[in-house]
Chain A
Amino acid sequence: MIETIGISILWVFLYGYLIIGSIDFGAGFYSYYAKVTNKKHTIRQVIDRYLSPVWEVTNVFLVFFMIGLVGFFPASAFYFGTALLVPGSIALVLLAIRGSFYAFANYGARESNVYLFLYGITGLLIPAALSTVLTISEGGFITVDDSNVQLLLGELFVSPYSWIVVMLAIVSVLFISASFLTYYANVAKDKDAFELMRKFSLIWGGPTIFLSFLVFLTLSTHNPEHFQAMVEEGWLFVLSLLAFLAAILCIYKRKFMGIAFLLVCFQYGFAFFGYGYTHLPYILYPHITIYENVTSPEMGISLILAFLAGLLLLVPSLFLLMRLFIFNAEYARGR
């Protein structure tokens, strides 16, 4: 029971990070794109107004997931911790560059192209780096002997599965954030920005589906067990595809932009939870399962209680944040 609740909480938070992190990362990239193509006054204003108040919140989702994972499944700290020193550290440095340079560029005195470039490019590199953790969790990239855990970096570099996941991550970031910014530009009644972001949504939509299929294909050879489980729950992925098609239709027709973004969230929701659900009981193939490596019931229950108490605090606060900034047309328009 505890393991199910625990992994569900964690997965929901990782999904939250996937969505708002993608919006954030992609927006950074588009912001830089707008800068080099001199479109400053349309899209960048919209991006700045969305990003400024919420960027710190994004980071917390990731930390929350990691700490929660260590809490509910302590052994994962040992395995992932030992194996991921190098890729993890690189992702951390990228996150650090991104976070601090965003603050420097945004609150600092001068707008600098270097800061913006770093901010934009890390927005694509970080998801690429983080997505390799999911790849590693599929097994085959870690050796364990005498409790000595090692990551096979070479294998990771030549694995087609690993590269397709990386590409899917980057394309998803661009698509999710474009579809959100299309909606947000619409709320802000910024026509130029709206048209630009709509175009990007349509451009990046197709590749997300294409690469998802490739992920399926390569997983079938890389981890047949997981692939088989995914086929059995295939209806989830069909729903994901349907949500995607409906979203693209809305965006194409320039109608129901809010619903279109929600549909994109559903597209990723179905796929992400389908992927996660079929990944179980393994957290890390074949070393960590949620049943064998769950924490003690005492700790598990106290973590769940703390989580509920935390939600009581956070949900109203997040609601306030959204009311004041994101879903506030006056604010979005820059008044």
Chain B
Amino acid sequence: MIDDPVVLSRLLTFVTLAFHIVMATIGVGLPIFISIAELVGIKKKDPHYILLARRWTRGYTILVAVGVVTGTIIGFQLSLLWPSFMQAAGHVISLPLFMETFAFFFEAIFLGIYLYTWERFKNPIYHWLLSIPIIIGSSASAFFITSVNAFMNTPQGFDLAEGTIMNVQPLVAMFNPAMPSKVSHVLTTAYLTGAFLLAAIAAFHILRGKTHIYYKKALHLAMIGCFVFSIATIINGDIGGKFLAVYQPEKLAAAEWHFETEDRATLLLGGILDPDEQEVKFGIRIPYALSILAFNRPTAEVIGLNDFPEELWPPLYIHYFFNLMITIGMFLAAVAFAYLVFYYFNRFNSLNKWLLRAIIICAPLSILSIEFGWIMTEAGRQPWILRGYLTVAEAATTSEHVFEMLLLFSSLYLALAILLPIILIRLFKKKTVESEIENQNIIL
């Protein structure tokens, strides 16, 4: 195993993406809240919101810097580890890859400007306007890169004749069936994760006894975002399930341990599988729910795994990742809903200790959920790298040095993972909110 370039390439890609996905998600998720906070601050003439935007931006910048770095790595690693795949992808799906670099370019330029122009404009609304290209750029990056990933799941827009790719239609390839559900899911979950991170920071300070109104404003703003985007996530998560049922039934079936094609299909939560007998122990079964999830009709027929040759089955462990992702998603929505109920029906209780603790827990949970969802969708595409055309095993590099590279990159990510929180904590401890508010009152 240690000298199998296919396994090692998968591992290295896993390590890189598992790390990058956190940075990328935060990079897409935060700008929208920074922008909202600044706008609220300008409209209400409330310096607390401006400070909020400034402090969020500081943390965001460091995370984006690391995200740029890991994003550059994965951009190159795709060619280094999966040369045959990138050759094929270059022919058919390079358009969105190309446009992604433009989107990122756009974002990087305006982030640079935004960071260093807080006090350069007489009318603060000009500075706020600079945040719009950052939102557009980061979300467009997510859009383009997700459309490439969607293409790997539902490739189209070309013909394959005797090993040659012909009749390429770049836009058809880009706007493939998996694209809408995937893009909307990636975007809303990124915003949701961003919101919960910001909410958790505020909740943490309040729980630690900070009483300044600044923290309550921060918490409330972020929690509204949590609520909106958790609802959106549930809706497009449901759309994603329906997409799978039609276009990638084997992935849904593997995620649900659904072996026999049947109508009135049962949704399974948890459980332990006996793969030989295809029997499940200890699972929770919800009648009709899988048919509803897949087609919105309790009597709909859902295709089972046994309709596919076994060598094309995705790994069955994705069931757990699928379940965990959904459970966390539901929990996030419940916490956001509870906060709003507490806030609007009994103002004091929205700062209830247990609620604050739940909000804090939600931040790491939302990131875990991103990781789980990503594992589910990538592992669920196995054995294909381009579903129906190219397998992962065919696409990997033949180089003998992948193991050394795996060690090299793993140590890099480990170092970054240790340093990043230390730097962030140090940064924010050096300039506390209270001291900054004091200093700001002189300026404003």
Write the residues of chain A forming the contact surface with B, with a CB cutoff of 8 angstroms: 52-54, 56-57, 59-60, 62-64, 66-68, 70-71, 73-75, 77-82, 84-86, 88-90, 92-93, 95-97, 99-100, 102-104, 107-110, 148-150, 295-296, 298-299, 302-303, 306-307, 310, 313-314, 317-318, 320-321, 324-325
Contact = CB atoms under 8 A, between A and B. Distances in A.
Contacts of A317: 106, 109-110, 133
Contacts of B399: 82, 85-86, 150
A90 B404 CA distance: 11
Nearest to B9: A85
B76 interface: yes
Given A56-B112, A66-B76, A74 B88 contact: yes
A70 B102 contact: no
A298 B65 contact: no
Contacts of B58: 107
A81 B69 contact: no
Given A81-B79, A150-B399, 7 more contacts: A59-B72, A68-B98, A70-B86, A77-B89, A96-B73, A104-B423, A299-B92
Contact of A299 (B87, B105, B133, B170): B170
A321 B416 contact: no
Nearest to A74: B90
The 3 A-B pairs with the shortest beta carbon distances in the complex, nearest first, are A74-B90, A103-B65, A71-B94
A210 to B, nearest CB: 33
A81 B168 contact: no
6 contacts: A56-B65, A60-B105, A73-B90, A89-B77, A96-B69, A313-B106
B377 to A, nearest CB: 23
A92 B87 CA distance: 20
Interface in B156-196: 165-171
Contact of B111 (A56, A59, A97, A104): A56
Contact of A296 (B73, B101, B117, B168): B168
Contacts of A296: 91, 165-166, 168
Nearest to B173: A299
B235 interface: no
Contact of A104 (B62, B76, B112): B62
Contacts of A92: 72-73, 76-77
B166 to A, nearest CB: 8
Interface of B: 58, 61-62, 64-66, 68-73, 75-77, 79-84, 86-92, 94-95, 97-102, 104-106, 108-113, 115-117, 120, 133, 165-171, 397-399, 401-402, 404-405, 408-409, 412, 416, 419, 423, 426-427, 429-430
Main secondary structure of the interface of B (DSSP, over half): helix
A78 B86 contact: yes
Nearest to A90: B408
A302 B95 contact: yes
B127 to A, nearest CB: 12
Contacts of A324: 113, 116-117, 120
Contacts of B165: 296
Given A74-B88, A100-B416, A299-B91, A82 B83 contact: yes
A109 B87 contact: no
A85 B94 contact: no
Q: Which of A54, A80, A107, A298 has the most CB of B within 10 A?
A: A298
A53 B68 CA distance: 14
Contacts of B72: 59, 62-63, 92, 95-96, 99
A60 B91 contact: no
Given A59-B68, A78-B83, A109-B427, A321 B109 contact: yes
B423 A108 contact: yes
A292 B92 CA distance: 17
Given A53-B116, A74-B87, A303 B94 contact: yes
